[in-house]
Structure 1
Amino acid sequence: MFSYRHAFHAGNHADVLKHTVLIAALERLLEKDAPLTVIDTHAGAGLYRLDGDYAGTSGEAAQGVLRLLSPDADAAPSAPARKPPVPDEPAPALARYLELVRSFNRAGQARVYPGSPFIAQHLLREQDKLKLYELHPTDARTLDANVAQLEAGRQVAVLREDGFGSATKFLPPPSRRALVLTDPSYELKTDYARTAAFVAEALKRFATGVYAVWYPIIPRPEAHELPRRLKTLANKAGKPWLHATLTVKSSKIASTPDGQGKRPGLPASGMFLINPPFTLADQLRPALAQMAAWLAQDRHAGFTLEHGG
């Protein structure tokens, strides 16, 4: 249950998608003065070292955020040459994401990657609240230590509880404004069903909350069924929805000399939002197009963006 560590995957193409969408959504919500509560059901460690053992072992950031950062960034040695080169003017939503990542690093470096908790806290105002759930013993301790450095007082709460089981207790918040991010590892197949059940319960408790779900797009029936279930939930509740996906390579198993085949790693992922902020789709479309072009690993790269309700 606790074998998954996001440190191996920090800054990969899935994080680029997830965090670009998260930042764009949060900034629209924060345009209103009323307090906002952000709930992260699977917070992880909060901060990650891209030059550390975990990220260095996987090399996934080299195919993700490190491809997009400035040419003089002190990136990991394994970072590949960018094809095609990133222009000076990325789309506004993507530019904002890169700006925020750079803010956690010294000029010209790319050693630290902020996870969702630190991205959210960086954007939140004094009157806003952040609830972070993490069950992994090591990541929970690291998250506690990282959050303590913020000296954010009561703004941030770290809870060593099952986010699926107890995050709805904060819904609705006193201000009746909230964004809930759900991005489990999906290491267990039951995570797909639990994600859908959690969103269904959250919608019953707080129908006007913003619900953002990240999921991997892999050759597994549950992965393809989840966005369909979320769309059904939104449509039945009469709520608007947005679904964005990013594909960087084929999902087919590559052949190897020994005939065993090699799994491609994560080829694609998606973000599904219920009650997305107005105009979010228009903001994301050019950013998604650039992600698909600049993070492509083969000719199967691309993106989709649909919305309704």
Structure 2
Amino acid sequence: MFSYRHAYHAGNYADVFKHLCQMMIINKLKEKQKPFVYMDSHSGAGLYQLDSDMASKNKEFRAGVDRLVDKAADNPELLAYLQLVNEFRVDNQYPGSPAIAAHLLRAQDRLCLMEWHNNEFANLQRYLYRDKRVACHHRDGYEGLVALTPPDPARGLILIDPPYELAEDYQKVVQVISKIQQRWPTGIIALWYPLLASQRDKSQPMIEALHATQPINLYVAEVWVKQQQQELGMHGSGMAFINLPWQLDGKIEACLPLLAEAMEEPGQGGFRSHWLIEAK
């Protein structure tokens, strides 16, 4: 347990999609002067060196963020994401979700970061220890989210992106989100999940179970870059949102075909998005 190290996958196609959505929501929250909180359930190390042994093993960033460089076209969200990432690539680094949030948040905003893996937590704390806006918690992210909501300020975003190493993670995610909704009904929740081989994929039952809890609203978007296998492997990823800010569904939908085209294996990519429960 707790063997997952995100450095092996830093900058891959799933990171691109997840971090692009994260950035869009944060930028939307910044349109108002009121402070907000960013909460991260599985923060990882926060920042990844792409020439490290782990990142260099499979070089997944080459089939992810590197393929996007020439495909951003004139899409303002993709261009903003690449501009941010390029500030880190100067030092051959890729920013995880904590680094992206720390880069984007203002002096009045707060970051609440959770990580249970000992080495990852040590790296996270080492990276952000000087940032007065940041609280790092060495704890189970599921337990921590429930314990720490509603936050102060009571405006903000939760990113939930577990490694799904255990089958029970899919049930835990639904249970935790249901509890958070009761404690913090106005909070924005962004849930990342993998699209796996057909015999192993539990994402659709998870989304159905989440839908059955009747959240205030629910929007889902998915991107895949290769054909689904039957027994093993990830072919794409999805994001499920509760309280997605106004008009961001349209911005996400504008990005989906560009992401699929840029990072797909030839002729194998695709995308879909829809409201399961319409926002009121």
Fold shared by both chains (TM-score > 0.5): yes
Instruction: Specify the alignment match of 2:270 in structure 1.
Output: 302
Instruction: Specify the alignment match of 1:225 in structure 2.
Output: 205
Instruction: Specify the alignment match of 2:102 in structure 1.
Output: 121
Counterpart contact for 1:230–1:272, Cα < 8 Å? no
Instruction: Specify the alignment match of 2:77 in structure 1.
Output: 93
2:73 alignment partner, SS class: coil
Counterpart contact for 1:250–1:298, Cα < 8 Å? no
**d(CA) in 1 for partners of 2:189, 2:234:** 23
Does residue 273 of the first structure (1) align with residue 241 of the second (2)?
yes
Q: 1:165 aligns with which of 126, 137, 143?
A: 143
Counterpart contact for 1:243–1:272, Cα < 8 Å? yes
Does residue 244 of the first structure (1) align with residue 221 of the second (2)?
yes
Q: 2:153 aligns with which of 175, 179, 182?
A: 175
**d(CA) in 1 for partners of 2:253, 2:30:** 21
Q: Kindly provide the amino acid, as one letter, of the partner of residue 215 in structure 1.
A: Y
Give 1:123 shift.
Answer: 0.8
Question: How many correspondences in the alignment?
Answer: 275
Return structure 1 stretches of 4+ with deviation > 6 angstroms.
none
Gaps spanning 5+ residues in structure 2: where? none
After superposition, the Cα gap between the structure-2 partners of 1:45 and 1:126, relative to the gap in structure 1 and judged at 3 Å, is: same
Give 1:221 shift.
Answer: 4.8
Q: Kindly provide the amino acid, as one letter, of the partner of residue 273 in structure 1.
A: F
1:246 alignment partner, SS class: strand
- Give the alignment's TM-score, normalised by structure 1: 0.85
Give 1:292 shift.
Answer: 0.5
**d(CA) in 1 for partners of 2:110, 2:174:** 24
Gaps spanning 5+ residues in structure 1: where? 70-85, 254-261
Counterpart contact for 1:183–1:215, Cα < 8 Å? yes
Give 1:87 shift.
Answer: 4.4
Percent of aligned positions that are identical:
37
After superposition, the Cα gap between the structure-2 partners of 1:87 and 1:138, relative to the gap in structure 1 and judged at 3 Å, is: closer
**d(CA) in 1 for partners of 2:203, 2:99:** 27
Could you say what the CA RMSD is over the residues aligned between the two structures, in angstroms?
1.6
- Give the alignment's TM-score, normalised by structure 2: 0.93
1:215 alignment partner, SS class: strand
**d(CA) in 2 for partners of 1:127, 1:276:** 22
1:26 alignment partner, SS class: helix
Give 1:168 shift.
Answer: 2.2
